[in-house]
Chains A and B, each alone.
Chain A
């Protein structure tokens, strides 16, 4: 077998997969509504805001699982293959999309329209939790943390939903205006932060937020749910001296001990869930508003 065979065959097969519909045809919810499959919580929230009760939004990633590194089951992929629209984040967010066949005609890469604005990242391999070893490589993928880009993702999703559900164009268009107004309010609130500011995050999630709102955000490779080792504390101290950071951003609520130790280093800390997964309470807009408000309060303190 030549080395080119995989590429050639893959292209042929994926093209065939994309060109043909699943034998079961389009998916409809049990009540005959179309199904919109999504790759992360922001897209689930946007889709729900856009279609309301007109369609079922399928976000199959279990609670507590990082959707970036989610390993789907065969049944999960079968359900996604049968969805009428498959909304992906793009920017390399969903690793699993390279391990399955999806019908290309029904996929919308919601960030493809601003691919030239992607942020390149370094390759770092590490492990934490039960997900095993993984790498942060290539492209920063939490695009929605720039709320201007999030609005463009909502625009792209809305356009694709209208193609799939033309009879609902008026409703989706009206809902898009309301959603974009909320995202614009988030964008304005974030732009009002007292930047420029140096900060350090517990995990490399906030590249787009930092670029959009004038924050220099260095990142550790910590899991907020796990104990921080002495080596990791030393690395943080080094990073503080290098960056002059005064703010520490946790992606999830850490232990009280960890927060107390952060305070001894002269940092103010906030918990700012990036919301790749659904929050335990509230929604995308309310929880983002809360995080931005906490950052603003910490800067004013």
Chain B
């Protein structure tokens, strides 16, 4: 087993708004080292760092939009989001919950701050990921996994060092809550100051971390403060994380799909032809209908 080293620690880029409810720093695909291929199959990461939204009678958010060809994963750290889709589904993602939406052949949906939460306002902090699907699954039937925080399996770190939530994949023999189309690990580390944890993933698994709270040190060397993104090299398997403060860290490690990516707006397919079909299907109502 060889050591996996840090390739880059990236600071958050200037935030932009998605709709009027999500003030996000985009980490993937921001070009250069973090294009859609680098973290394959994680092709997009938007991070709403902790931000106070004032009370609003009219919930802020993003209106109706389609997706095809991938999954969206929303991890709520603070605040509440309500969503609705064209097949009549909907729900609320609360603090600590994860929503894993397989858009696959096509979903129309909208996402807003939950009505009552919006009226009170408060700190809002979330991550949204796009997880690509292999060609054979891109046109499969859409589905949801609404994962409540209490149903996420946990590993308790030695010496009262905190806990590790296994959203997907596996850690120390404990399997995660979500089912995935390709092999991947998605962990939420909640480490007490000075706690340490070690990890080992195959070297070809693309691996990265996002520091949500506090700060950490990787391999007793590279330090990453709050809201920073750590891209790991593919030069080995093992690495360690030490919390230099009480810390929350989202850790992603996934087997690359290695297929061509044709992406435009909310559609991610393998070829340009499939992209054109996606636009045509959306324009002609094949994604269904949803009131704004």
A, B from the same assembly: no
